[in-house]
Structure 1
Amino acid sequence: MGFYDFVYGIAAGIFMACLVLVVQTSRKSVIRSEFTGLVAESTVRRHPIQRRFLREVGHQTYVMKLNGYLFFGSIVNLENKVRDLVDAEAFGRRAIRYLVLDFSYITGIDFSAAEAFQRMNRILYSKGVQMILASVVLSSEIGKGLQMVGLFKDPDENDDVPTPKIFEDLNKALEFCENELLTAFNRRSSLLAHQKKAQPQSMAVPRPSTPPVTFPSETAFSSPRREYLFQAATTALTEGDALVPSKWQNFSQPLQLILQTFRDLTNKNEDFWHRAVPYFELREYAAGKLLYSRGDEPNGFYLLEEGILRAEYELDQGSYHESIVAGTTCGELPFFSETNRTSTVSAEKDCRTWLLTPEKWRKMQEECPEVARELLKIGMKLSAERMNAVTSYVLITAS
């Protein structure tokens, strides 16, 4: 009799220990940290007008970094948080368009937690919010667990809820969100350009009265977000247009590129920067071409007119990359500080650049010292801007 009582006691003890573990674990939130797109930005170097637009609409991207093991006890807090985000009252105050869930610190997931992501995806879709999963690889244990519940199954006629987007890291997920938001900006830019050409040059460009841009994930619930994108794009383009006189369009390269790239960094006019033109030389690179490697001596300061460059960094916190798009610069810090390259840069697409070589830089300092000093100040401002962006990204990924 005592033997059976002893076995029952052990079984009861194990059951109570498991129960206590589940209760304690469920009380601890799996949400490690939260950010909006105003703080969590990708490492893509973008045109100043595009950055201005993204700063205005960054709150429509919401990032949650998850932590720990996801199971039926811990997933409840996350699901409740998602429901709170799209709650009618909260959604009216801060409507979001993209919810990015970062799995960098997730150690595992069980079947019930994976099914919860199905429910959350449906809830988000009903509000026109797109679920995005970052740091997820389909071949990993977590990816396989999510596939088992059909989270990535193509929608059919009986279920039109789209599957979440997945990316291998947070940077790519943020870049996707920014590119999607910039779709509205680009369409608005095309419309404004068309309207401007269709009327006399002496007339002011009126505020467009066409309907807001529609995104695939939009529903009837999200018209305020579409309207906000419409207004933000128009404002950014109008302010940018005021900073870009129409006469600049008649200038030959690289003067036009210099004026547009440096306009937020200097108050010097076209007559001043015209003196810098002879020191820049055209360089074109085919996709895949290596411009320079980490540790190399600086071979010049680049202004990117067309194409995309890819810069890869190796830091103590890990490796990351950034895309450098047209209308931006590359290689300013090592060039002006005369230090070795800190990254490896190659052409992701066919590129057309204007290069200031060390020889031409020394010649500019001798022949046009005022232009050289102004360019040096701009180089330092650009370096400070990039260092802030890199530091912010590193802190976010480590938080």
Structure 2
Amino acid sequence: MQKFVYDPLGYIPAVILGLLLNLLDAISYGMIIFPLNVAPFQDLGPDGISMFFVSCIVSQLVISLGGSAFKGGNETVVARVGAENRDAVLATTILAYALSSLMTGAVFMALGYFKLGSLIAFFPRHILVGCIGGVGWFLVVTGFEISSRMTREFTYSWETFKFLFFDHHVFALWSSAFGAALLLRVLQQKIKHPFLVPTFFMVVPGIFYAVVWVFGLDWAMLRAQGWVFPLPEGHAPGWQFYSYFDLEKTNWGAILETVPAMLALTFFGILHVPINVPALGVSTGRDNVDTNRELIAHGWSNMISGGIGTVQNYLVYTNSLLFIKSGGDSRVAGVMLAAASVAIFLIGPWIVGYIPVMVVGSLIFHLGMDLVKEALWDTWGLVHHLEYLTIALIVIAMAAFGFVEGIFLGILLACVFFVVSNSRKEGVRFSCTGESAKSTVRRVYRQQKFLRQVGRQIYIFKLQGDMFFGTINKVEKEIQDVFSRRRWKDNPIQFLVLDFSLVRHVDFSAAEGFGRIRRAVQRYNVCLVLAGLDEEGEVGKALHMVGVWGAGAGAGLGEGHGHGHTVAGEDKYPTQSFPGLSEALEYCENCLLESYYRTRESTLEMAKRKRLMEVANQDDSNDMLSPDSEAAHFFSEHMQNSPRKSHLFEAARETLHANERPFPHPINLQQPVPSLLAAFHDTRENSVDFFLKLSMYFERRTVLAGTILWRQGGAPTDGIYLVEDGTLRSVQEFQDSGAIRRSVEVVLPGTISGELGLFTGNNRMSTVVSETDGILWGLSQERFQKMIKDDPTLAVEFMRVAMSYSAERLNTMAAYAFSLS
């Protein structure tokens, strides 16, 4: 009983309100489907209303019977076209409307089926606002045409101005409608209630009928003078418009000419659904409304409307919200509204002969002014001045040249605005030298010190966003500036690192720009290093296509030791490529460290020869090296007129002789003392005896590749590991916006891992895996506690040494984290 009697009775107020809204829309939009001021359409106002109701009923049923998530949505129709010559013109026009509906339905269906409901979000909002403002202006012009009973096309001319303002009768006709629309706008400023507009358009015709009754005015006279619409001839039924279909009389050439207008109407319909549907979902408390489902429902609605010969339709936010809020939030209520609309359709369009023109005119004026206000008034001061200029230009173009032309101008301006706005975005997130950003490889102290001194020979650019023809020029200029005479004189570089990890897309113009950068790098004998690239990725393929890098460059993608490739066989410094920035920086650092170790070996050779010469009592230092010796060749190479080589040599020599504390010769020392010296000798001043005592607490352990030493979150029972031989990999996992990300650190021989867990007792912050077979020396928690008990002074000094080492490592990790930001 409740479901079949009481609930439907409760929907009646909402159905009455929805029917009133449909009548108001039918009077306004239905009456402008055909240009009533142009022959042979003067008498087709009732047919437009009938077509509106048919389309409205179809859409109401599709939505209410489950096509949409909204159980009681409401629809409207927007269509406008012009033509010439009676039977053929009517047959062509009515078929064009049906084909336009089919086209719109097909587009809606395709967008929903391929899950492209969010596609409209990529279209600039201010362009959409401009199109809406242009439609508003068309409605204002249509209001003048209908309310003045204009019999010719509206033009911006002196003749039109004289017709509207110098003919007192015409002026009274349109000014009464315009005045009613202005009165409604004033009332809206005072009264904020959703039922104001429906109530207003119920009261105005009531006042009109009261005046006619009080003064006994003749209806035929009112129709003749243009105050009331004429009666349809012969009391034609609502389905009379079907008699206009005639394929034999259809002008197919004219149909083809209307295709641009069909596309424009389709585009305008597409603009509304992805905007109205989410807005209605928010207002009715329906989160996560499936826009693609709504597009498919609109596709079916328009396909059926086109199939039965009527016009387009789409869900209207305001009408649907009023209907739902008034109790029509039910599929039964939607079906009841469709049934009531069918009843009005069957009654026939004779009711048009008793509708005051001023009511229709004022409603059209109201709708038009509302849209123009939304576009030109509400946006003033809220959008950028260039965006506002774009909105105004679209409105002016639609008013001056036409609806289709305005739509195309909007699309063109959207493209221009996209290029201009995106070209202003910074393609370079930041740039720095290797002094600020370092790899995550855990190195011995002297290597770290050397790299700090020569790190400025590595220059890093972290790129971001979409690289296209609008942004590449600025990026290229910023990179080329590194090679300007002023910058090059102050800081000649050896490696140029380009990090593409935040780059989403590279078009052909941008790829060509990177090709020019590569050629510039070659001229300066600089090695180009690419980071964050995937051979199969879109960015990697784009750069490969123009020869910036090739398949051979990926030789070391897995290990971080890529050997690059020679794109043009004469390259002295081939392009290198790596999957991440840390691997790229590791490669650059390893190349620089080669100079350090060559200097170290040559220094040892010089010292040896010097001792031999002292034994032979040869005092001439110039004879210290023979011209053919390796050391002589090395120093002659690095003392040539090359700022980069001289800088490397001086930094290596300074690192080797820093603090006048030469590295102890480990020939007579047993492991782990040499490894302890490599790790800690330069951090604090400690004698070899200190490291000999410390080594007594370390225990040797051999590991195989893939051995997990500890896992992230585990207890630090294993203590600390010192690497004698092999490589460890420390992997830290963390969540970022629901995604699991990893930070990887490489631990090389002569370094330690796990000191923070040993000293603090906190759980492990990372998982450490042996990357290769290796030899480790471990200091467990138990052995460390024994050291504290047996020799507290040794334990305290060891903690200081280890924490000094950790501080240096944390600085390196902080610099790398900065490079990722």
Secondary structure of the corresponding residue to residue 364 of structure 1: helix
Which letter does structure 2 place at the counterpart of 1:293?
A: R
Which residue number corresponds to residue 356 of structure 1? Answer: 779
Please give the alpha-carbon distance, in whole angstroms, between the structure 1 residues aligned to 2:613 and 2:698: 34
| Distance in 1 separating the partners of 2:423 and 2:442 | 41
**What letter matches 2:723 in structure 1?**
L
Q: Which residue is 2:593 aligned to?
A: 182
Matched, 1:369 2:783: no
- Stretch of structure 1 that moved more, 180-189 or 314-323: 314-323
Q: Which range moves more in the overlay, 360-369 or 261-270?
A: 261-270
SS at match of 1:322: strand
Q: 1:336·1:379 contact (CA, 8 Å) conserved in 2?
A: no
Match of 2:417? 20
1:343 aligned residue: 766
Could you tell me how far apart the structure 2 residues matched to 1:32 and 1:286 are? Answer: 41
1:373 Cα deviation from its structure 2 partner: 1.7
The aligned amino acid for 1:182 is L
Letter paired with 1:380: M
Q: 1:294 to 1:20 in 2, by over 3 A?
A: closer
User: Contact conserved, 2:726 with 2:772, CA < 8 A, in 1?
Assistant: yes
User: How much has 1:159 moved relative to structure 2?
Assistant: 6.3
* Deviation (angstroms), 1:214: 7.4
Measure the CA separation in 1 of the matches of 2:441 and 2:684.
Answer: 22
2:670 is equivalent to residue 252 of structure 1: yes
Tell me, in whole angstroms, the C-alpha distance in 2 between the residues paired with 1:157 and 1:113: 20
Q: 1:60 aligns with which of 457, 470, 487?
A: 457
By how many angstroms is 1:162 displaced? 5.9
**Greater strand fraction, Structure 1 or Structure 2:** 1
Whether contact under 8 Å (2:726, 2:749) holds in the other structure is yes
- Residue 117 (structure 1) shift: 0.9
Per-residue CA distance 1:130-167 (angstroms, 9 max, x = gap):
22121110111111222222322465767647653221
Shift in alpha-carbon separation, 1:383–1:237, aligned structure 2, 3 A: closer
1:177 maps to amino acid: C
For 2:466, the equivalent position in structure 1 comes to 69
Residue in 1 that maps onto 2:706: 288
Q: 1:23 to 1:214 in 2, by over 3 A?
A: farther
CA distance in 1 between partners of 2:776 and 2:423 (Å): 55
Does the residue aligned with 2:731 lie in a helix, a strand or coil? strand
For 2:535, which of 127, 138, 158 is the aligned residue? Answer: 138
> Does 278-287 or 10-19 show the bigger shift?
10-19
1:278 Cα deviation (Å)? 2.0
* CA distance in 2: counterparts of 1:370 and 1:13, whole angstroms: 79
Please state if 1:11 is matched with 2:384.
no
Match of 2:645 in 1: 226
Conserved? CA contact 1:34–1:63, under 8 Å: yes
Deviations 1:248-305 (A, max 9, x none): 5422222333334222333332233432232112122233332222223221222222
3-state SS, counterpart of residue 520 of structure 2: helix
Output the CA distance in 1 between the equivalents of 2:683 and 2:794. 14
Structure with a larger share of its residues in helix = 2
Give me the whole-angstrom Cα distance separating, in 1, the residues matched to 2:704 and 2:613: 41
Q: Map of 1:260-339 to 2, 5 A cutoff?
A: 260-298=678-716, 299-316=718-735, 318-339=741-762
CA distance 1:72–1:361, change in 2 (3 Å) = same
- Give 2:438's match in structure 1, choosing from 41, 45, 48: 41
CA–CA distance in 2 between the matches of 1:16 and 1:159?
47
- The verdict on how the C-alpha distance between 1:151 and 1:245 changes in structure 2, with shifts beyond 3 A counting, is closer
1: CA distance, partners of 2:688 / 2:710? 31
> In structure 2, what is the Cα distance between the partners aligned to 1:287 and 1:251?
27
1:279, 1:394 → 2: CA distance? Answer: 35
Structure 1 position 44, deviation (Å): 0.7
Per-residue CA deviation, residues 56-83 of structure 1 (Å, 9 max, x unaligned), is: 1100111111111111110000111122
Q: Equivalents in 2 of 1:240, 1:88: separation in Å?
A: 36
The residue number in structure 2 matching 1:192 is 603
Is the Cα contact below 8 Å between 2:445 and 2:805 reproduced in 1? no
2-structure distance, mates of 1:84, 1:374: 48
Q: Is the contact between residue 151 and residue 163 of structure 1 (CA under 8 Å) also seen in structure 2?
A: no
Partner residue of 2:808? Answer: 385
Mind listing any 5+ residue stretches in structure 2 that lack a counterpart?
Answer: 1-81, 83-154, 156-260, 262-399, 551-564, 626-630
**Any conservation in 2 of the 1:293–1:345 contact (CA below 8 Å)?**
yes
Matches within 5 A, 1:102-121: 102-121=499-518
Distance 1:158 1:173, change over 3 A: closer
SS at match of 1:276: helix
What is the aligned counterpart of 1:151 among 513, 527, 548?
A: 548
Matched, 1:170 2:581: yes
Pair 1:75–1:254, CA change in 2 (3 A): same
SS in 2 for 1:150: coil
- Secondary structure in 1 matching 2:709: strand
After superposition, give the CA deviation of every residue in 1:177-207 in whole Å (9 maximum; x if it has no partner): 1111111112222222333334428969989
Q: CA deviation at 1:90?
A: 1.7
The residue type paired with residue 28 of structure 1 is K
The answer to whether the Cα contact below 8 Å between 1:309 and 1:349 also exists between their aligned partners in 2 is: yes
Q: In the alignment, is the contact (CA less than 8 A) between 1:314 and 1:343 conserved in 2?
A: yes
Alpha-carbon distance in structure 2 between the residues aligned to 1:316 and 1:383: 24
CA distance in 1, matches of 2:445, 2:756: 19
Structure of greater Rg:
2
Question: What residue is the counterpart of 1:85 in the other structure?
Answer: 482
Q: Is the 8 A contact 1:184 1:233 kept in 2?
A: yes
C-alpha spacing 1:310/1:240, structure 2 compared with 1 (3 Å): farther
Which of 1 and 2 has higher RCO (CA within 8 Å, sep 6+)? 1
Q: 1:238/1:278 Cα in 2 relative to 1: closer, same or farther (>3 Å)?
A: same
Q: Distance in 2 between matches of 1:201 and 1:344?
A: 51
Contact 2:706–2:770 (CA<8 Å) still a contact in 1? yes
Q: How many residues align?
A: 392
Worse-matched range after superposition: 272-281 or 10-19: 10-19
322-331 or 205-214, which moves further after superposition? 205-214
Distance 1:193 1:240, change over 3 A: farther
For the residues of structure 1 that align with 2:762 and 2:413, how far apart are their CA atoms? 63
* 1:392 to 1:90, Cα distance in 2 relative to 1, 3 A: closer
Q: Aligned partners of 1:294, 1:57: CA distance in 2, in Å?
A: 34
SS of residue in 1 equivalent to 2:661: helix
Q: Percent identity?
A: 36
Deviations 1:79-108 (A, max 9, x none): 111221111222111111111111122121
The verdict on how the C-alpha distance between 1:211 and 1:269 changes in structure 2, with shifts beyond 3 A counting, is closer
Unaligned ranges ≥5, structure 1: none
**Amino acid in structure 2 at the alignment position of 1:39:** S
Q: Distance in 2 between matches of 1:305 and 1:229?
A: 28
User: Contact between 1:212 and 1:229, CA under 8 Å: does it hold in 2?
Assistant: no
